[in-house]
Amino acid sequence: MVLRRRGSTKDLDRPWRENDYAVVDLETTGLDLRRDTIASYGIAPICGGRMLVADQTYGLVRPESPLSPQSITVHALRPADLVQAPPLSQAIAAVEAALRNRVLIAHVAWVEHAFLTRAFAQHGKRFKYRIIDTAALARAAGLDAARGCGEPDLETLATELRLPVVSPHHALGDAITTGYVFFALAAQLGRRGYRTARDFIDLTEVDGCRRR
């Protein structure tokens, strides 16, 4: 994966378009944070306020735990699809390269944070990156899809924002959809005075504290 430009997270107080981002989505064998592992990943880099289509990447991962029946149904990944896939270490290398000098964006980002933190630790690395959660931004924007006790569904949120839904429940498709959602929410929140990467990171962190 060749990234065209390297930004710097020291510029978080500049207008958000002047920072670089990596939209990350993971598909996992399930949602048990103690047992389940990563099965695929999608990464959509953002530079200058646009997604770099040529630099998007998708990879399968040979999981370290069995696929749950629910995961097979949702993601359409079967054990046979993953038996020859690269190991988790390759996925970690790809994510680490994509995040260098970039802010991570994810939808319901606690999932990516939890799985990546554990996976990085298993390979002797520390997962410490700035994170923007589009679910938190949707709540800050007061969107209908983000109301209630649960996390807002990505497809429902994209539909409310009149955005395309790209290959749902596919890691790269969901990463691209999340990127579109981020652009729309950044525009909405910008009209309320939230204009920098730090603004969106702070909204994510405050939202996370409130919902724990």
pLDDT tens string, the chain, 212 residues long: the values are 333 344 455 589 999 999 999 999 999 999 888 899 999 999 999 999 999 999 999 999 999 888 888 888 888 888 889 999 999 999 999 999 999 999 999 999 999 999 999 999 999 999 999 999 999 999 999 999 999 888 999 999 999 999 999 999 999 999 999 999 999 999 999 999 999 999 999 999 988 755 55
Is pTM beyond 0.85? Reply is yes
141-148 LR contacts (CB < 8 Å, sep 24+) = 141/185, 141/188, 141/189
116 domain-assigned: yes
Q: Label residue 95 exposed, middle or buried (CB < 10 Å: 0-12, 13-18, 19+).
A: buried
Q: Which CATH number do you get for residue 28?
A: 3.30.420.10
Work out whether strand 57-60 and strand 131-133 pair parallel, antiparallel, or are unpaired. unpaired
What was the pLDDT predicted at 1?
34
Quote the domain boundaries for residue 106: 17-211
32 domain-assigned: yes
Strands (E), the chain: 21-28, 38-47, 50-51, 57-60, 103-106, 131-133
190 domain-assigned: yes
Whether the CB-CB separation of 204 and 109 falls below 8 Å is answered with: yes
What was the pLDDT predicted at 125?
96
- Torsion, Cα of 190, 192, 198, 202 (10° steps): -140
9 domain-assigned: no
What was the pLDDT predicted at 5?
44
* Alpha carbon 192 to chain centroid, angstroms: 24
3 domain-assigned: no
Residue 189 main-chain phi, psi, to 5 deg: -70, -25
| Structural domains of the chain, count | 1
Whether the CB-CB separation of 156 and 144 falls below 8 Å is answered with: no
